[in-house]
Amino acid sequence: MTVRSAKDFFRPLAVGAPEPLREIPARPSRAIHFFDPSNEKMAAKVPQLAGTVDVLLGNLEDAVKSDRKEAARAGLVKIARDTDFGTSQLWTRVNALDSPWVLDDLTTLVGEVGEKLDVVMVPKVQGPEDIAYVDRLLAQLEARAGLSKPLLVHAILETARGMVNIEEICGASPRMQGLSLGPADLAADRRMKTTRVGGGHPGYLVREDPRRTSDGVDVDVDGERATYQQDLWHYTIARMVDACAAHGIYAYYGPFGDIADTVACEDQFRNAYLLGCVGAWSLHPKQIEIAQRVFSPSVEDIVHARRVVDAMGDGTGAVMLDGKMEDDASLKQCLVLVDLAEQLAARDPELRKLYDDAVPDERPTP
């Protein structure tokens, strides 16, 4: 694809639109809590949730019935106007680019409440051309509304073509803030044979080798053999993390549909956290706590990371701590955790206290 010259990349795409950001701010977004703005019960809870969750997202796309699309859009405008979001960010997920609703979603939201919105999540993104379309349209709408800061764009990775074009999508605009895995749509598009929203599948496994029979010649294929369930999403998440990190943007797990299975939800979120994701979606208030806990570095990790930072002095060379070698590279991993802890603690007083009160346990210095 022909790209704009590097000189022009950060020029606004419409006269009067705000300048694109050079760097995507690392704002905490451990839980992106979805609500349906057309659902009065859910809408009524938004003011109480504001300030307690990193991101509140008004969902206009899937899970909102077609005859509620306009009510959802109007509901989100009202909520955005009437709510003081405190330290929470406000995001929206607009309808797909080929739907009859998306043009009005973008026009209305940017025109009416653009100053309150931080990020626009775009579903079913197929390639950089989708981002280029949204990029220009947002610039025109921002210019018309006189907005002072650019809206950021978050793409959901939920088509095979989107996967194939993942790097180009991440680099398609300075507005790109991040990617989320959309496991339900992606599974359907790829013809995976699952029927769930995220999570594993008991049929996706590896099995221990068969034992030899007593004559030592034959193998006992029907004998007892341990099986281990594998993670269906490992490749996708790993690929997403690399594409995002290479472009200075953020990767997110996405939805986990089995609300009652808080244990497996936590496992999936933790795998994503360990692989490099910064957050996940929350579809029910009980998933907020899981995401905000799992995507925050543990106190033990921070205690250890700070010890390594202290021990490594100017950051070069190697030291032994508790029998393990630490060097420039392990220091860099520790700094990822310490920096993340700092960003999160700056907005979460409970975490600030946890991290500040943490003291290393007394171990002999070797």
Residues at the contact surface with Mg ion, assessed by CB under 5 A: 158, 182, 185
From Mg ion, ligand GLV, none, which one binds at residue 70 (CB under 5 to 8 Å depending on kind)? none
Q: How far apart are CA 19 and CA 214, in angstroms?
A: 75
Q: How far apart are CA 215 and CA 95, in angstroms?
A: 64
Note whether 185 binds ligand GLV by CB under 6 A.
Answer: yes
Least distance to Mg ion, CB of residue 184, Å? 5
49-68: contacts with ligand GLV (CB under 6 A): 62
From ligand GLV, Mg ion, none, which one binds at residue 114 (CB under 5 to 8 Å depending on kind)? none
256: left (phi over 0), alpha (psi -120 to 50) or beta: beta
Least distance to ligand GLV, CB of residue 134, Å? 17
Tokens found for residue 261: 């299975």
DSSP-derived 3-state class of residue 153: strand
Residue 181 is which amino acid? L
Least distance to Mg ion, CB of residue 93, Å? 9
222-281: contacts with ligand GLV (CB under 6 A): 254-255
Q: Considering the complex, state which of residue 174 and residue 255 has its C-beta at the smaller distance from Mg ion.
A: 255
Q: How far apart are CA 354 and CA 272, in angstroms?
A: 23
Q: Considering the complex, state which of residue 174 and residue 254 has its C-beta at the smaller distance from Mg ion.
A: 254
Radius of gyration of the CA atoms of the chain, in A: 23
Q: Considering the complex, state which of residue 79 and residue 122 has its C-beta at the smaller distance from Mg ion.
A: 122
Whole-angstrom CA distances from 346 to 75, 277, 353, 355 are: 31, 20, 11, 11
DSSP-derived 3-state class of residue 119: strand
Tokens found for residue 50: 């504001």
Q: Given candidates 54, 105, 158, 348, which one binds ligand GLV under the rule CB under 6 A?
A: 158
Note whether 94 binds ligand GLV by CB under 6 A.
Answer: no
Piece in contact with ligand GLV (CB under 6 A), picked from 103-111, 178-186, 263-271, 286-294: 178-186
Instruction: Write the interaction track for ligand GLV spanning residues 188-207; mark x where CB under 6 A is met and - where it is not.
Output: ---------x----------
Q: How far apart are CA 8 and CA 15, in angstroms?
A: 14
Least distance to ligand GLV, CB of residue 138, Å? 21
Q: How far apart are CA 287 and CA 264, in angstroms?
A: 11
Contact residues for ligand GLV, defined by CB under 6 A? 62, 156, 158, 182-185, 197, 254-255
